[in-house]
Structure 1
Amino acid sequence: MNPNEYKHFYNEVGRLNGWDFSRLNVIVEGEAWNFHDRVTSLCRPGHVLLDIGTGGGEALLAIADSALLLIGIDQSEGMLETAAYNLGRSGKPNVRFLHMNAEQLHFPEAFFNLVTCRHSEFNAKEAARVLTQDGVFLTQQVSEGDKINLKQAFGRGQAWNIKQGILQDRYAAELQNAGFSRVQTFKYDATEYYSSIEDLIFLLKFTPIVPDFGQSDTDFQILHRFIEENQTDQGIRSNSARFMIIAEK
């Protein structure tokens, strides 16, 4: 496949895959945890859960049976339209989606037993305010070394040339300063294989891994070389670097 064909896929891939990242075909080797499994392990039938940066709500709906009430918030109207559609299809009566900024949560103090945030910004003080005294905050974030071979190929990228661990340390310090009594951090760097060119291009188009990807024809030439160099029998190779913080009040 040549660079012009990659460009064609770039223009078509949103229509083919929609916004649902769960539909990406990717094999991950060395993933140390599943974030939502960790969340559900802490859920109890009477719990109320807040999910910050809920996106299209697919992940929240998948764990809806784990708690009494689950509320997902997001700043994007487009994402919330998708979430509302997904909610209607799911038939889950205990899930709500709201348009809200994480910097100012419009909920009473001590309203939630759990607050979660996956790959999204959050405000530590606001999270602490809306949590019950024995509440727990969990977040998973993208580490600086994520998709390192892609960033090296393009010479730019999300958190490019930023020292490893900066974001994790910042978030942990903010949570401690917000009054959480116990803050634990975890991290992993897993190998991943994208099954198809469409999967990789979808990732580049709808995430900030390589800023402004697709605006230059040169990007498709670089992508062509990257795929040739990283194609394996399992798929197109990159890496998934993540950290997780669990903070208890």
Structure 2
Amino acid sequence: MAESAEDRYARWQWIHETAVMTGWDFAALGSRLVADEPPWDFDLTCAKAMARLQPCLDMGTGGGERLSKLVKSVSTVGGFISRRSSVHASEGWKPNLAVATSALEEYGIEVREYDSETGEPMPWSDDFFDLVMNRHESYDPAELARVVAPDGRFLTQQVDGTEASEFRLWFDGRPEAPENRLGPRLDELESQGFTITDADEWTGTMEFADVEAVIEYLAYIPWDVPGFTVADNLVALDRLAARRSPIEVTQKRFHIAAER
């Protein structure tokens, strides 16, 4: 017996309501999401910098998964952590704080709550860090200039604010941070006294196996289409479900290396 439209819509609603991310992990999507990777290796760049620049900070550490791997990989690039207290982490999303604290406890890494979008100062003193790393997290250039020591470095990989324009076309959404582009970010950092040593941008593809994978992904990343609901987008979702081929969405990334 074929599934009724009502049952299909109820299933989609259930997927969207029950999808909960722990830390920063898309493993639940498995092979239903295949994403291209940028040509640079941001994690390797960070590991090499950590090997010689401490104290260091990982901004927006998520569930601590990436920082755990970075700490382990420092020795493979010829470096070492001088002391356990020389690595720090911040996280702005409350559900991740406990997850990150638990994951990083064995490395002696304290996780402090910080979200640059609140306008609050970073919870560290002036010139505290020789290295600040930031992967897909917002930041305040003026606060970075305050906490990064002279001759210190800032490394970031960002999601371009115009990524996944297909989502906005299909679901009539608006990007949360359209100004998050390479050019403006370079200008902001330079205005705070940073010197740009490397920067690049890249465009690739994310491929979803089916419409259910898209719905689950949007539940994990609600800022891609703020306010998205299944009920308000049934026509668009039906059109996507009728496609025979995988559903493709544009990825956009940029990275910056800067010195103070």
* TM-score normalised by structure 1 residue count: 0.82
User: How far apart are the structure 2 equivalents of 1:33 and 1:22?
Assistant: 21
**Partner of 1:20 in structure 2?**
24
Distance 1:33 1:199, change over 3 A: farther
**Partner of 2:88 in structure 1?**
71
Are 1:50 and 1:70, in contact at CA under 8 Å, matched by a contact in 2? yes
Q: Does 1:176 align with 2:176?
A: no
SS across alignment from 2:97: helix
Are 2:112 and 2:123, in contact at CA under 8 Å, matched by a contact in 1? no
1:142-181 alignment to 2 at 5 Å? 142-158=159-175, 167-181=181-195
Are 2:23 and 2:62, in contact at CA under 8 Å, matched by a contact in 1? no
SS across alignment from 1:9: helix
Return the letter of the residue paired with 2:107. K
Residues 20-75 of structure 1: per-residue CA shift (max 9 Å, x gap): 32424332235222322221132215622112222222211221232623211123
**Partner of 1:248 in structure 2?**
259
Are 1:107 and 1:130, in contact at CA under 8 Å, matched by a contact in 2? yes
User: How far apart are the structure 1 equivalents of 2:87 and 2:173?
Assistant: 38
Distance 1:180 1:73, change over 3 A: same
Distance 1:184 1:20, change over 3 A: closer
Distance 1:57 1:30, change over 3 A: closer
How far is 1:148 from its partner? 1.8
User: How far apart are the structure 2 equivalents of 1:206 and 1:121?
Assistant: 18
Q: CA RMSD in A?
A: 2.6
> 204-213 or 216-225: which moved more?
216-225
SS across alignment from 1:71: strand
SS across alignment from 2:57: strand
How far is 1:101 from its partner? 4.1
**Partner of 1:97 in structure 2?**
111
How far is 1:218 from its partner? 2.7
Residues 213-233 of structure 1: per-residue CA shift (max 9 Å, x gap): 12x51324422322433x53x
Are 2:211 and 2:240, in contact at CA under 8 Å, matched by a contact in 1? no
User: How far apart are the structure 1 equivalents of 2:211 and 2:113?
Assistant: 34
User: How far apart are the structure 2 equivalents of 1:151 and 1:62?
Assistant: 34
Alignment size in residue pairs:
237
User: How far apart are the structure 1 equivalents of 2:176 and 2:199?
Assistant: 19
1:1-249 alignment to 2 at 5 Å? 2-14=8-20, 18-23=22-27, 24-25=29-30, 26-29=33-36, 31-44=38-51, 47-65=54-72, 66=74, 68=81, 69-88=86-105, 91-93=106-108, 95-102=109-116, 103-158=120-175, 167-195=181-209, 199-207=213-221, 208-214=223-229, 217-229=231-243, 232=245, 235-249=246-260
**Partner of 2:77 in structure 1?**
none
Structure 1 stretches of 5 or more lacking a match? none
Structure 2 stretches of 5 or more lacking a match? 75-79
Are 1:6 and 1:224, in contact at CA under 8 Å, matched by a contact in 2? no
Return the letter of the residue paired with 2:203. D
How far is 1:199 from its partner? 4.1
Are 2:53 and 2:130, in contact at CA under 8 Å, matched by a contact in 1? no
Larger radius of gyration: 2
Are 2:171 and 2:228, in contact at CA under 8 Å, matched by a contact in 1? no
Residues 168-201 of structure 1: per-residue CA shift (max 9 Å, x gap): 2222111101111235321111112235655432
Are 2:170 and 2:236, in contact at CA under 8 Å, matched by a contact in 1? yes
Aligned identity (percent) is 23
User: How far apart are the structure 2 equivalents of 1:196 and 1:85?
Assistant: 34
User: How far apart are the structure 1 equivalents of 2:203 and 2:53?
Assistant: 35
SS across alignment from 2:107: coil
